[in-house]
Amino acid sequence: MREGQDWRGKGYSFFQNTRCEYFPCHGVTDETDFNCLFCFCPLYAMDDCGGDFTRTKSGKKACDACVFPHRRENYGRVIARLERVGFR
């Protein structure tokens, strides 16, 4: 699992595209730590994704207010959740 500290400071754990027309795609107070690596959240299909989501009237997941995968410090948590369901 990558939830430990071994990934901190590594290039593969953080990416930022400030030239993107949607940057930052979620409201944040500090854009310098906004991680674009998981632009499309790999946890979207999980009900226990760890993020702050709501449901629309039709039952679809709405992640507008969620910044869980975009926080630099959550890289290890995202990877750990993926590993729990068999992704490596």
pLDDT tens profile 39-61: 999 999 999 999 999 999 999 99
Core vs surface per residue 41-80: b (16+ CB within 10 A) or e:
bbbeeeeebebebeeeeeeebebeebbbbbeeebbbbbbe
> Which of the four pLDDT bands, split at 50, 70 and 90, describes residue 3?
low
Percentage of the chain surpassing pLDDT 90? 65
Mean of the per-residue pLDDT values of the chain: 90
Q: Which long-range contacts (CB under 8 A, 24 or more apart) does 41-44 make?
A: 41/66, 41/69, 42/69, 42/78, 42/82, 42/87, 43/68, 43/69, 43/78, 43/81, 43/82
pLDDT class of 1 with cuts at 50, 70, 90: very low
